[in-house]
Amino acid sequence: MRRFHSYGPVDSELHFCVEREELMLRCMEQLLGHPEKGGHFFTIWAPRQAGKTWLIRQVRQEIEKRYEDRFVVGSMSMQGTVFREGDTEDALLPKIPYLMQETFRMKPEAPKGWDDWRAFFNKDGGLFDRPVILFIDEFDSLPPKVIDRLVTLFRDMYLKQDAYLLHGLALIGVRAVLGVESERGSPFNVQRSLHVPNLTPDEVGDMFRQYAEESGQEILPEVVDRLHEATRGQPGLVGWFGELLTEKFNPGEGKAIDPPVWKRAYGSALRREWNNTVLNLVKKARSDKYRPYVLGLFASSDIPFNIDAEWCNYLYLNGIIDMETCLDDKGEYADICRFSSPFVQERLYNALTYDLVGDRLPILALEILDELEDVFAGDALNVPALIRRYKDYLGRLRAKGLNPWKDQPRRADMHYTEAVGHFHLYAWLLSAVGRRCVVSPEFPTGNGRVDLHLRCGAQRGIIEVKSFVDASEVKKSRKQAAEYAGSMKMDSVTVALFVPTEDEKVLGQLSGEQVIDGVSVTVVAIGWAI
């Protein structure tokens, strides 16, 4: 029986997959162009584990099937090429014979210069007797100097196609193929680029339908829906969760894969399962250069998406963020940043919590004899009382000369970013009530906003974390909190408002309770030093 597969290209004879025929045909048509007059040189791009290598294999097989011996088709991978620090652009030339042997089963002499390699594809006196269609995979693995040289060479060959047998060329990668890593820009017209999209809900459903038919095991539709919602159809993540559900967490013969199985697999994927694609995303988001921008995304749901912003470009092309078009407060359409999927967002949230706070607080979260009786008394959870315990904790830190905000990221106005308080409060809640409650970040908008949910048996609570901007913004935050609580069928919500002052009079004026549309909204102002 076939199985799900999450690393490397899938094989339809061994793995569950979907054919994506429309995408394959579009790629093939771009390569072939006009078979009699010449094809196109273009780029294929997507984040890692999105199905790029699988796509070029499918296209190659289809061209060979339809056109038999009319073209020489080769797939060249740059992944195995090794360069040392300080190598010049010419360091690729000695490797070319081996690349040609792997790709075309021929081993010419090493070219003495770039014009010699270009000559391999000459119509007169070259190595080939038919038009060539060439895929170059893992283009990003090449050093920038080599990329620049190849960009120049291929662009010149494209402009002089009558002299060469290179009929069609596809460069495959993440950033370099679009010119992001090259001083010379994209090698071809960017309109000739092909983006490999995520799987649709129907495509994910089809993969699990195949599994159910071959295994005889039922997988409930709710599980497939939740999987697509969590991953947004990212192929590598879909395959990974398929592995977890049908192998590691499979309930066994005669038992359906149901929501409890999904919940267990998803929780494990968040906290203790290894996956190279996910670890790669976390590593990129944690880098000193990009972490401040990722933190900013957790604090705001309306950060503009702009491909000209280097950080935005990098996070987008590497599969950490995506773009969403929505109506802004003025009723105009705006492109904003959102995380590429709820699962990626939650994994990054967990990772950055440890980066900012660590896995242990410097002192006890609660006073030794504090049993939180007022927090858990009655039917409703007294969240404001719990947040006031957090304020007391910050006071005890100050009394010991400890500053939890030291060296934390700041906004342009030098105030701490909202995310700093958010992550710190989350870590404190885990320590203070983590044994009695499930404390979980929730991402209601899918594009940055984070709320903290508490589930303590039958008692529930919501905390919205905000950073003080001005009094009008506090009023707006109360209204938004009430709307969200109402959508969750809850009659109360607490806003934890971080304010850049320790003046208790000011904090008291900003705090208070108000009923908005039947929802009790309590603001607890928390002072932090600027």
Under the banding of pLDDT at 50, 70 and 90, the label for residue 416 is: low
Region 388-411: mean pLDDT is 84
Spacing of C-alpha 182 from chain mean position: 23
Residue that has been written with the tokens 């061994």 in this structure: 14
Token code pair at residue 79: 């992944």
Q: Tell the CATH superfamily of the 21-195 domain.
A: P-loop containing nucleotide triphosphate hydrolases (3.40.50.300)
Asked if 496 contacts 465 with a C-beta cutoff of 8 angstroms, the reply is: yes
Asked if 324 contacts 331 with a C-beta cutoff of 8 angstroms, the reply is: no
- Asked whether residue 206 carries a pLDDT value surpassing 90, the answer given is yes
Please give the DSSP secondary-structure letter assigned to residue 34.
Answer: B
Question: Rounded to two decimals, what is the model's pTM?
Answer: 0.82
Token code pair at residue 368: 């030794």
pLDDT at residue 413, as a whole number: 58
Bridge partners (DSSP) listed for residue 164: 122
Residue 56 CA: distances (Å) to CA of 66, 304, 317, 443 = 15, 34, 19, 36
Express each pLDDT in 271-328 by its tens digit.
899 999 899 999 999 998 999 889 888 877 778 998 889 899 999 989 999 998 887 6
Percent of the chain with pLDDT over 90: 53
Nearest by Cα to 55 from 104, 86, 17: 17
Three-state DSSP at 305 gives coil
Nearest by Cα to 265 from 218, 233, 234, 231: 231
Bridge partners (DSSP) listed for residue 323: 337
Phi and psi (nearest 5°) for 462?
-125, 135
Residue 483, exposed/middle/buried by CB under 10 A (0-12, 13-18, 19+)? Answer: middle
pLDDT at residue 297, as a whole number: 86
Region 474-492: mean pLDDT is 90
Structural Rg of the chain based on CA atoms: 28
pLDDT at residue 165, as a whole number: 93
Mean pLDDT value across the chain = 88
Three-state DSSP at 197 gives coil
Higher pLDDT: 383 or 46? It is: 383
| Euclidean distance between CA atoms 9 and 80, whole angstroms | 16
Asked if 121 contacts 157 with a C-beta cutoff of 8 angstroms, the reply is: yes
Asked if 336 contacts 309 with a C-beta cutoff of 8 angstroms, the reply is: no
Please give the DSSP secondary-structure letter assigned to residue 164.
Answer: B
Nearest by Cα to 18 from 215, 255, 200, 226: 200
| Euclidean distance between CA atoms 228 and 232, whole angstroms | 5
Angle at the Cα of 161 (from 155 to 162), degrees rounded to 5? Answer: 155
Express each pLDDT in 34-82 by its tens digit.
877 788 888 888 888 888 888 999 999 999 999 888 999 999 999 888 8
Taking residue 125's Cβ as centre, other Cβ atoms within 10 Å add up to 7
Higher pLDDT: 328 or 172? It is: 172
Nearest by Cα to 280 from 101, 63, 117, 47: 47
Range from 12-16, 184-188, 213-217, 475-479 carrying the lowest mean pLDDT: 184-188
Beta strand 459-467 with 451-456 is: antiparallel
Where along the chain do its domains lie? 21-195, 201-273, 351-527
**Maximum mean pLDDT: which of 212-226, 473-487, 501-515:** 212-226
pLDDT at residue 34, as a whole number: 83
What lies within 8 Å, CB to CB, of 39 at 6+ separation is 30, 31, 32, 33, 131, 133, 167, 168, 169
Region 388-400: mean pLDDT is 92
| Euclidean distance between CA atoms 440 and 234, whole angstroms | 23
Q: Which helix (H) or strand (E) covers residue 156, if one does?
A: helix 144-159
pLDDT at residue 302, as a whole number: 79
Express each pLDDT in 225-279 by its tens digit.
999 999 999 999 999 999 999 999 999 988 999 999 999 999 999 989 999 989 9
